[in-house]
């Protein structure tokens, strides 16, 4: 980290098209400076210029637009710059390296993000049911894909959650094999919806499934819920429910 006082400003002039072992030179130099702990470095790109070869380069000349001048600048202590100079000379190749003495009036400081409050870890266990609905991706209801309509209906009826899976191989009551291939339409596969909630909520939703599903399969299974979750803490270290209880 830089401190106020004397320092060295290093400027490296390169061509945009210059490479080192197949990698753009500016990228190699930037990586080198980063992993050697330099306080900061900036790469800027020129829009026109010429170098030692006296060839004019400009951004509006398409054929040579990848040979525009680049400039890398960084500031650090004399000791750090002296330690880096040998490798920088190697990386810069035919490029120009300039050094100037400078004075750091106020060093840059890293922005410190607010320390997040550690959430509370929760483990929730209980009994529930899983409802699986098997249907065709071609099935529709009121002009929209049936599986999308079912998801929307579950959300509207406060079902805890649902996931839609698309089959890649299988067959159903008609004994036709369905499989996913690049040549087949992506709308001819089988689809399964899997939802988990209480017995009462899923059974109450079943009549709506009966209305929407013309051909398919619905399966119910008893499941044991083990859910791991995080609940945000407030500044006192209490969850929202704990804080509410403490206030009563």
Domain extents in the chain: 5-104, 120-241
pLDDT tens, residue by residue, 52-106: 666 665 555 444 455 678 899 999 999 999 999 999 999 999 889 999 999 999 8
Does the model's pTM come out above 0.75? no
User: Residue 20 — pLDDT band, cuts 50, 70, 90?
Assistant: confident
Common-topology check for domains 5-104 and 120-241: yes
* CATH class of the domain defined by 5-104: alpha beta
Looking up tokens 């049911």 gives 129
Cα–Cα distance, 34 to 84 (Å, whole number): 12
pLDDT tens, residue by residue, 206-223: 999 999 999 899 999 999
User: Residue 171 — pLDDT band, cuts 50, 70, 90?
Assistant: low
Burial 164-185 (b: 16+ CB within 10 A, else e): beebeeeebeeeeebeeeeeee
pLDDT tens, residue by residue, 128-138: 999 999 998 89
CATH of domain 120-241: 3.30.70.120
């Amino acid at each position: 980290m830089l401190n106020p006082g004397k320092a060295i400003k290093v400027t490296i002039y390169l061509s945009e098209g210059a490479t080192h072992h197949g990698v753009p030179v500016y990228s190699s130099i930037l990586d080198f400076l980063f992993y050697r702990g330099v306080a900061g470095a900036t790469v800027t790109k020129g829009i026109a210029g010429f170098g030692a070869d006296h060839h004019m380069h400009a951004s509006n000349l398409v054929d040579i637009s990848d040979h525009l001048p680049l400039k890398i600048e960084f500031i650090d202590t004399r000791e750090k710059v002296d330690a880096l100079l040998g490798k920088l000379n190697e990386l810069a190749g035919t490029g120009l390296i300039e050094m100037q003495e400078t004075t750091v009036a106020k060093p840059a400081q890293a922005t410190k993000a607010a320390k997040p409050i550690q959430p509370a870890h929760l483990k929730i266990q209980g009994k529930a049911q899983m409802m699986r609905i098997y249907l065709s991706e071609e099935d529709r209801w009121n002009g929209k894909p049936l599986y999308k309509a079912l998801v929307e209906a579950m959300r509207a009826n406060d079902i805890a959650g649902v996931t839609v899976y698309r089959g890649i191989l299988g067959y159903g009551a008609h004994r036709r094999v369905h499989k996913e291939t690049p040549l087949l339409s992506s709308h001819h596969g089988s689809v399964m919806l899997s939802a988990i909630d209480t017995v009462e909520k899923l059974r109450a939703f079943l009549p709506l499934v009966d209305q929407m599903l013309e051909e398919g399969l619905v399966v119910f299974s008893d499941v044991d819920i083990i859910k791991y979750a995080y609940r945000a803490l407030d500044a006192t270290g209490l969850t929202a429910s704990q804080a509410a209880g403490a206030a009563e």
